[in-house]
Structure 1
Amino acid sequence: MIVPRKLRRLAGWITVCILVGVMVVSWGVPRTLLPVDDALILRTMWDEEQYLRQIIWRAQGPLEADDPALLRILRERYLDPPSPGPMDLMLDRTDPTAQRYNLYRRGFKSWMRTNKLLRRLFSDVPSGFFLEAGALDGEFISNTLYLERELGWTGILVEADSTLYAAIAGKRRKVWVSHSCVSPASYAQKMTFEGYHAEAHASIEQRLLVRSTGNLAGVMSPAGGQMGTKVEEKIQCFPLFSYLLALNATSLHYISLDVEGAECDILLSLPWKRVNVSVLSIEHRDQNTCFREYYEMPFGSMAVTPQREENGKAVDSAVPHKTQQSKDQGPTIPHTAQQDVVVQTRVVYTNQHDPASGKDDYFVRFMKERGYVLYDYWDGDYTYIKMNSSVCERHCGESLPAGVELGSRG
């Protein structure tokens, strides 16, 4: 009877030793079972991976734009560095496929106009930084390729569509690239992106045009989801400000924002006092009433136009309107009679209209209050220049380049 008792006691001690051994390996404390350096390495790797997993989960919403953990995830998981080697562009090819692809360079009037404006504004700026959101494949109707290829600029391309993002790598552009989307809020979140596929028999430029209409779910896009077959995917979105912080580029020369309907919310959530952008190209259609709603009274009351505000008549002073600035937004510029808002009624998307019409004066007012002058408007594309910038000093008072009519200015 004594032997079994000793055996049970021995088994108990063995069990205790095994448990202690497991704890030692897990925590890496004593030196007898595991070298100190190896234990610390294992512990650090475990902690690091768990930390990153937690931040990735939290980044699905919400983490604020300047959260250090969010910026780390953006840098480490969502930013591809500039590509080595020479560029590989359709622009440099002459085969039939490339010729079809490059038709936009002489047929896509909106892109041609913007490209001409950028050449005028930046031809004497040999080194700069840009951000292009809605980069497509990195070449097709790109607003920034000229700046990089001919002027030696660098920057970041942001593209949500998985297929288009994968194509950017083949272009070998010398810029950062992010497979993500710009959040329409001041915090990061995971959202549904609705991409569109053209018919199988479509030409290469038709396929790209259809894919260029992809948008975030729930956003009023210009194309209205009427082109191609919809394919949904979950995508991580970061505030515009986060990309700039992650690359230490809160002062930059140019932003191109063309994300199919989310532009207004992105601009509303940008902390304007913490960024310095010389020129912005922004797509915005007047059927998107976001900026008008920004200036309306609460509960759907009549909009407070600058004229009504200045005259002080027919305005219900008991209900404050949204012209009050947040702490992160730029200074308010006094309104004048020239800022009277005329609400447009026509929808601007196709070319079967006057491309000089459809300007959203609420949007112009919003940007003016943040220190920007409208340099050009054409068919839903706005070009703004910061009033106190060197670009404005050189170009704000001059006539537009040849082929760009003066009548299109704001």
Structure 2
Amino acid sequence: MFSLTPKIKHSVSQRKHQIFLITLLFLVTLMTLTSPGGHVAVLTMDNDEFLKALWQEKWQGQVNRLNLEDQAEGPLMDDDPDLLRLLKDRYLSKPSDKPANLMLDLETDRAKNYNIYRTAFHSWIRINKILKKLFSEEPPSFFVEAGALDGEFISNTLFLERDLGWAGLLVEADPILYAALPGKNRRAWSSQSCLSPSNFAQRMTFETYEPVGDRDVAGTLLVRSTGNLAGIRSPTLGQMGSKIPVDVQCFPLFSYLLALNATSVGYVSLDVEGAEADILLHLPWDRVDITVWNIEHRITNDGFRIHFEEPWGVRVPPSSPGKGLGGKERKQEKGEEEGRGKEQKDKETVEEEGRGKEQKDKETVGEVIQPKKVVYVTQHDPASGKDEYLVRFMREKGYRLYDYWDGDYTFIKANSEICRKHCTVETKVESPALD
């Protein structure tokens, strides 16, 4: 019978020990790297199956998460529980608990240029006056600002949060603008995403605009504020800068409200550069309670007109060609772009100097014609251009038009306490006093 020499036995024994030590070291290293926090985890017969089950569960969770992200690019509906969980966990940042860090509080030259909107941007000034009038004596509520930019520049909601103690949500799709938002330390939820122009979540292309040439900080922010969803007819028609497309995740407005358990909202600012019609048409109005809306909307966006008039639209078709709004004769010509609320002569030309009252045409021989001047830089009347289809849509949803000026609409819920206090006769071309 063959037998090993002592030397060979010793050598084999050493190799066994070496193999065992190498194997043990490998297992310890493996468990160290794969255990949470990098702590050593000892694998025993008692916990072997348990650890395997945990890893299988974790891996399965990762697979489900990936599938959920894929679904968020397409078919998940606005109230889908998985979509709401994804939105809350991945796309919503919590309010800051740090002191505010605003340009408003600084006195530098850069801050002065940044804050020029507070004295020069008539749209922001007008809306700010309206909000002070409507909400200064009201208890704090919840706001939503879609098109929040960097969280401060021409923000419609900063006053509500800073001066009146409101909570809210800020949504901005432009990644460059949003990058500055967390540093403002707003006491509001925020999301670098966009409002979906449908009732389901989807991945879309957002077109940002990079300023061309040297611009100051206010000019740069103003150019970037014109970003819009690709395929949407925006008010500026993409002429404010160099277009840069980026992918962005979009969620329905209703999904944000459900995720934050905030379906009762005091104020919504909707400034989304042309997508407002689709967003409002797909909102489940019977499941939300919103008191005041500020909506920026231009007559060039015909979404609300299609909603009421197109034969294949959502509503009943017109009874015959040349009719609309329930079959009544149109008072406007088909090609009219400015959407006058009443019968109104074309005011594309500049107004005559010194015209303070209604005045007859003085083009008779021998009369002196007053020199003309440009009343508005853009050569249009801010009281014109109102979309009666939007007004009708909001009226059917239970709202009164409180103010209209240069594409900015303020609607108040008709049966609200705020409307009882402030609504008078629904505005037509004129608007209520703000002082």
TM-score grouping bracket, smaller chain normalisation: 0.7 to 0.9
1:155 to 168, 176, 190: 168
Compared with structure 1, are the counterparts of its residues 216 and 345 closer, same or farther at alpha carbon in structure 2 (3 Å cutoff)? farther
2:222 to 209, 217, 220: 209
Listed as ranges, the matches of 1:206-285 within 5 Å are: 206-285=219-298
Q: How far, CA to CA, are the matches of 1:279 and 1:210 in structure 2? A: 27
1:111 to 116, 124, 138: 124
2:62 is paired with a residue whose SS is helix
**5+ residue gaps, structure 1:** 1-30, 312-339
Q: Which amino acid aligns with 1:388?
A: N
TM-score normalised by L of structure 1: 0.79
CA contact 1:292–1:303 (8 Å) conserved in 2: no
CA displacement, residues 162-186 of structure 1 (integer Å, 9 cap, x when unaligned): 0111110110101000010000001
Listed as ranges, the matches of 1:2-401 within 5 Å are: 32=45, 34-298=47-311, 302=321, 305-306=324-325, 308=327, 351-397=378-424
Compared with structure 1, are the counterparts of its residues 234 and 350 closer, same or farther at alpha carbon in structure 2 (3 Å cutoff)? farther
1:69 is paired with a residue whose SS is helix
Q: How far, CA to CA, are the matches of 2:158 and 2:390 in structure 1? A: 27
Q: Quote the residue 2:5 is aligned against.
A: none
CA contact 2:401–2:426 (8 Å) conserved in 1: no
Q: Which amino acid aligns with 1:148?
A: E
- TM-superposed CA distance for 1:308, in Å, is 2.7
Higher mean C-alpha displacement, 292-301 vs 69-78: 292-301
Q: How far, CA to CA, are the matches of 1:350 and 1:59 in structure 2? A: 44
RMSD of the TM alignment (CA)?
2.7
- TM-superposed CA distance for 1:35, in Å, is 3.5
TM-score normalised by L of structure 2: 0.75
Compared with structure 1, are the counterparts of its residues 61 and 258 closer, same or farther at alpha carbon in structure 2 (3 Å cutoff)? same
- TM-superposed CA distance for 1:367, in Å, is 0.4
CA contact 1:344–1:359 (8 Å) conserved in 2: no
**5+ residue gaps, structure 2:** 1-43, 330-340, 349-375
Q: How far, CA to CA, are the matches of 2:412 and 2:126 in structure 1? A: 16
2:131 is paired with a residue whose SS is helix
1:157 is paired with a residue whose SS is strand
Q: Which amino acid aligns with 1:389?
A: S
Percent of aligned pairs with the same residue?
54
1:236 is paired with a residue whose SS is strand
Q: How far, CA to CA, are the matches of 1:379 and 1:175 in structure 2? A: 29
1:126 is paired with a residue whose SS is coil
Structure 1 residue ranges (4+ consecutive) displaced by more than 2 angstroms after TM superposition: 31-41, 299-309, 340-347, 349-352, 397-400
Q: How far, CA to CA, are the matches of 2:281 and 2:379 in structure 1? A: 31
CA contact 2:196–2:253 (8 Å) conserved in 1: yes
| Count of residue pairs the alignment pairs up | 347
- TM-superposed CA distance for 1:408, in Å, is 2.8
- TM-superposed CA distance for 1:63, in Å, is 1.0
Compared with structure 1, are the counterparts of its residues 92 and 360 closer, same or farther at alpha carbon in structure 2 (3 Å cutoff)? same
Compared with structure 1, are the counterparts of its residues 342 and 214 closer, same or farther at alpha carbon in structure 2 (3 Å cutoff)? farther
Compared with structure 1, are the counterparts of its residues 345 and 297 closer, same or farther at alpha carbon in structure 2 (3 Å cutoff)? farther
Compared with structure 1, are the counterparts of its residues 84 and 229 closer, same or farther at alpha carbon in structure 2 (3 Å cutoff)? same
- TM-superposed CA distance for 1:342, in Å, is 6.7
Which of these two proteins has the greater Rg computed from alpha carbons?
A: 2
CA displacement, residues 271-318 of structure 1 (integer Å, 9 cap, x when unaligned): 100000000000000111111111114259647534635x9xxxxxxx
1:375 is paired with a residue whose SS is strand
